[in-house]
Amino acid sequence: MGNLFCCVQVGQSTVAIKERFGRFEDVLEPGCHCLPCFLGSQLAGHLSLRLQQLDVRCETKTKDNVFVNVVASIQYRALADKASDAFYKLTDTRKQIQSYVFDVIRASVPKLNLDDVFEQKTEIAKAVEEELEKAMSAYGYEIAQTLIVDIEPDVHVKRAMNEINAGKISSRNE
């Protein structure tokens, strides 16, 4: 009788996907569950409901032809009530999110001068978050927060900007 039922444990902040003869049947909540293996029931896998973070580095050009690396930090999680969508609809969630981030950043930053990119990083983050929220909700994911954590101009541009600022400071001191 021990071979007829399989006992599985689903950990906290996780759900398990139950299939019967290869077809989705149910989402198992945290706890202990018995699966009638003799009736074709099995676990297809587990899905974490914890908040996850993805840092995306995107190189793009500003309106004044300066290349910058924009680093966006995306915090997201799978939704328990849409766990089957989150498990089955996407093969690689992180790459999907990265593609949307690239798309929005490469559409927004080229419209701005370098100084404006620094000043409007909150607006850029909001645009990324809105686009991600629309796209990823169809796949069972929630975007908790999006931040633009770093904007790095090309090394030569950064050096030139520092020299200009140093010149301004030294001319004030004279």
What pTM does this model have? 0.83
Of 66, 47, 135, 62, the closest CA to residue 97 belongs to 135
Q: 144 with 79: CB under 8 angstroms?
A: no
pLDDT in tens, 85-124: 999 999 999 999 999 999 999 999 999 999 999 999 999 9
Domains contained in the chain, CATH given: 5-48 (no CATH), 52-164 (3.30.479.30)
Average pLDDT score, the chain: 91
pLDDT, position 4: 59
* pLDDT at position 28: 96
**Mean pLDDT (whole number) for 6-12:** 91
Q: How far apart are CA 111 and CA 95, in angstroms?
A: 25
Query: What pLDDT, in 10s, does the model give residues 33-90?
Result: 988 888 888 999 999 999 999 999 999 999 999 999 999 999 999 999 999 999 999 9
What are the tens digits of pLDDT across the range 121-172? 999 999 999 999 999 999 999 999 999 999 999 877 777 777 776 776 666 6
Q: What are phi and psi of 28, to 5 degrees?
A: -95, 125
Cβ atoms of 137 and 100 within 8 Å: the answer is no
